[in-house]
Structure 1
Amino acid sequence: MLRWLRILVTALAAVMGIGMLVIAALLWLRLSQPPLPELPEQVALPEGAVPAAVTFARDWLVVVTEAGEVLLYDRQGRLRETVQP
């Protein structure tokens, strides 16, 4: 019985050690990814608009302001459409 308990405790310690290594590896992989692309310099937000979210699509750039306004830009940075909440 004592031998069985020793094997069980050793196996548990090994599984916990492997789990800690897996968690450390996943954190390292996720945190070493490059940051999100920055807003292109040619994009000019309207006066007083503060961006809350930015989405990069294939042909469009969508900026949602803190006021809830949706601004749609093309790849050259020209404002194409504005959607009010």
Structure 2
Amino acid sequence: MSRTPDADEKLPEPANLRFLRLLVTVLTGVMIAGLLTLLGLVVIRYTNARAPLPDAITLPDGARATAYTQGSDWYAVVTQGDEILIFDRATGSLRQTIGIEPAP
């Protein structure tokens, strides 16, 4: 006499197993919804946070740009001559020039 159930015989599923299956399904749905929400927020914040680039930047004679950065009402260009040129975003005029000194 064999104690293994027949293939056709359906055994009832334990209540704890049903509850665990429900928890895993709900957790999966919550994780997917949370991930989609986070990705959506990152995309929305990234597209709204960018300030427009200026059409053209007029550098002083002989200056050659190596880097660029920008703030809310200014943008800056780092030149090969070890200077940082800070321009006004609204007018495009040079606000300030900062010399970069080598570290001692």
- How far apart are the structure 2 equivalents of 1:22 and 1:84? 47
Post-superposition Cα deviations, 1:53-81, rounded to whole Å, max 9, x if no partner, equal 22223xxx131527564322223011121
**Is the radius of gyration larger for structure 1 or structure 2?**
2
Unaligned runs of 5+ in 1: none
1:20 Cα shift?
0.8
How many residues matched?
82
Q: TM-score, normalised by structure 2?
A: 0.58
Q: Percent identity?
A: 25
Q: TM-score, normalised by structure 1?
A: 0.68
Choose between structure 1 and 2 for higher RCO, CA contacts under 8 A separated by at least 6 residues.
Answer: 1
RMSD in angstroms over aligned alpha carbons? 2.8
Moved over 4 A (4+): none
Cα contact 2:75–2:87 (8 A) shared by 1: yes
- 1:26-37 alignment runs, 5 A limit: 26-32=38-44, 33-34=47-48, 36-37=50-51
Unaligned runs of 5+ in 2: 1-13
